[in-house]
């Protein structure tokens, strides 16, 4: 029996994790749930999996949670609050594995605490590896923590890597759907509107990640994650556009053999893989219907149309706090684009200008990383108020 804590339990990763835990109730026991503000959903999750502890970000919502539990006639778990409560949950001796499903920089501290506590960390929070990949990997080496990715591409790579040794890898190939502008001519890019960019062909996601999927910055961030998760230099991480999103990623080995992971697009698969690792257990996810797959297409991304990809690679080359700066400048630029303050094609320009101006620091503490993050947000905002980039 593996005892798990799900932080960010009411978000999309959290809800899928609860579903996996209910399905594997003889193998997974939910010790703790934590959420920011969706109290009703947290109450129904509590009724479903009976956690011993519940974390609520806002202490003012605790009474409401307890009352709703009593109204439903379910036993009220003990409640912890705020960042300290989260830290208690992820480092609790009763917890074997932490599912890190909190979105954004807010997920960084609890993920780091879980790693310091030597847990199995099923990592869905993107920022943690982008901002603090080196720090997290070093902390994991020291504590014995095992970080297993939940992001579909990285879960795919993890699965493919089991076919050979680390030293036998020639390159990792992350696949990308290509977003809504895969076939849009580059001349049209300056006129792209937020409405067009928010219309993603395959996935329904949050607003920032949807725009990041349109600029392909999302794939750039995934290259950074892959660099740290799998200890691969950036030169060994490639991207291929694959519009069908059936091949979730691939590993090419030195003998020229490529191993790919394919499957239905269902997050419960990578979540369950991370939580039962190194075992595979029967899941609720159907296999592929090969009779419905007529073709699999691949093409390299167009660097003219998607300069965010090369910016992500350069941030890795710069090292230190540069990926944190890239991420923060991107978030500011995407926000401005959504507010119609800048055209689509200014997103990479603002990121580039911010990266160029950054005074590089070592990313050897969360404080140093958060300082770079704050500097980049401020700088990117200032760049936008100037007329010439």
Contact footprint for Mg ion (CB under 5 A): 151, 153
Q: How far is the CB of 359 from Mg ion (least distance, A)?
A: 31
Distance (Å, rounded) from C-alpha 15 to C-alpha 268? 10
Give the DSSP letter of residue 76.
P
Q: Residue 153 or 158: which CB sits closer to Mg ion?
A: 153
Q: Residue 90 or 157: which CB sits closer to Mg ion?
A: 157
Q: What share of the chain is helix, strand, coil (3-state, %, to 5)?
A: 50, 15, 35
Q: Residue 198 or 366: which CB sits closer to Mg ion?
A: 198
Give how far Cα 268 sits from Cα of 21, 24, 167, 283, Å: 10, 12, 30, 8
Question: Under a CB-based contact definition with an 8 Å cutoff, are residues 98 and 122 in contact?
Answer: yes
Q: Residue 151 or 373: which CB sits closer to Mg ion?
A: 151
Q: How far is the CB of 248 from Mg ion (least distance, A)?
A: 9
Q: Residue 153 or 346: which CB sits closer to Mg ion?
A: 153
Q: Residue 117 or 269: which CB sits closer to Mg ion?
A: 269
Q: How far is the CB of 54 from Mg ion (least distance, A)?
A: 29
> 233-272 as b/e, with b when 16 or more CB fall inside 10 Å?
ebeebbbbbbbbbbbbbbbbbeeeeebbbbbeeebbbbbb
Peptide bond into 369 cis (omega under 30): no
Q: How far is the CB of 227 from Mg ion (least distance, A)?
A: 15
Q: How far is the CB of 126 from Mg ion (least distance, A)?
A: 8
Q: Residue 29 or 248: which CB sits closer to Mg ion?
A: 248
**Bridge partners of residue 375, in order along the sequence:** none
Reference 162, options 230, 227, 99; nearest CA is: 230
CA dihedral 319, 322, 327, 331 (to 10 degrees): -170
Q: Residue 51 or 220: which CB sits closer to Mg ion?
A: 220
Q: How far is the CB of 358 from Mg ion (least distance, A)?
A: 26
For Mg ion, the nearest residue by Cβ is 151
Distance (Å, rounded) from C-alpha 90 to C-alpha 281? 25
Question: Under a CB-based contact definition with an 8 Å cutoff, are residues 349 and 389 in contact?
Answer: yes
Q: How far is the CB of 81 from Mg ion (least distance, A)?
A: 31
Distance (Å, rounded) from C-alpha 177 to C-alpha 123? 22
Distance (Å, rounded) from C-alpha 44 to C-alpha 217? 35
Distance (Å, rounded) from C-alpha 64 to C-alpha 201? 39
Q: Residue 91 or 202: which CB sits closer to Mg ion?
A: 202
Q: What are phi and psi of 365, to 5 degrees?
A: -155, 155
Q: How far is the CB of 190 from Mg ion (least distance, A)?
A: 27
Q: How far is the CB of 80 from Mg ion (least distance, A)?
A: 31
Q: Residue 217 or 384: which CB sits closer to Mg ion?
A: 217
For residue 21, the SS3 value is helix
Q: How far is the CB of 12 from Mg ion (least distance, A)?
A: 12
């Amino acid at each position: 029996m593996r005892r798990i804590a799900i932080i960010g339990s009411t978000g999309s990763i959290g809800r899928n994790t609860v579903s996996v835990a209910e399905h594997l109730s003889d193998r997974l026991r939910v010790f703790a749930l934590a959420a920011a503000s969706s109290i009703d959903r947290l109450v129904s999750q509590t009724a479903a999996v009976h956690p011993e502890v519940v974390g609520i970000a806002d202490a003012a919502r605790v009474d409401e949670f307890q009352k709703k539990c009593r109204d439903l006639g379910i036993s009220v778990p003990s409640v912890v609050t705020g960042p300290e409560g989260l830290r208690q949950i992820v480092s609790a001796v009763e917890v074997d594995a932490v599912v890190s499903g909190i979105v954004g920089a807010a997920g960084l501290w609890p993920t780091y605490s879980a790693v310091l506590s030597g847990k199995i960390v099923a990592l869905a929070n993107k920022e943690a590896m982008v901002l603090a990949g080196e720090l997290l990997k070093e902390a994991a080496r020291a504590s014995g923590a095992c970080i297993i990715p939940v992001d579909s591409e990285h879960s795919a790579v993890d699965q493919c890597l089991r076919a050979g040794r680390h030293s036998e890898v020639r390159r990792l190939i992350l696949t990308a759907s290509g977003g809504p502008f895969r076939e849009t001519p580059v001349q049209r890019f300056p006129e792209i509107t937020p409405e067009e960019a928010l219309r993603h062909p395959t996935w329904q996601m949050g607003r920032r990640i949807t725009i990041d999927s349109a600029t392909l910055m999302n794939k750039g961030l995934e290259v950074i994650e892959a660099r740290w998760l799998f200890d691969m230099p950036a030169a060994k991480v490639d991207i291929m556009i694959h519009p069908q999103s059936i091949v979730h990623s691939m590993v090419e080995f030195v003998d020229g053999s490529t191993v790919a992971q394919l499957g239905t697009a269902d997050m419960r698969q990578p979540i369950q893989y991370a939580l039962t690792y190194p075992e595979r257990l029967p899941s609720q996810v159907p296999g592929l219907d090969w009779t419905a797959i007529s073709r699999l297409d691949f093409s390299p991304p167009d660097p003219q149309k998607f300069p965010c990809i090369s910016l992500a690679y350069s941030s890795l080359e710069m090292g230190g706090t540069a990926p944190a700066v890239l991420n923060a400048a991107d978030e500011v630029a995407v926000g401005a684009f959504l507010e119609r303050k800048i055209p689509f094609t200014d997103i990479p320009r603002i990121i580039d200008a911010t990266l160029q101006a950054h005074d590089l620091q070592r990313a050897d503490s969360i404080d140093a990383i958060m300082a770079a993050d704050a500097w980049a947000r401020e700088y990117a905002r200032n760049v936008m108020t100037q007329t010439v980039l």
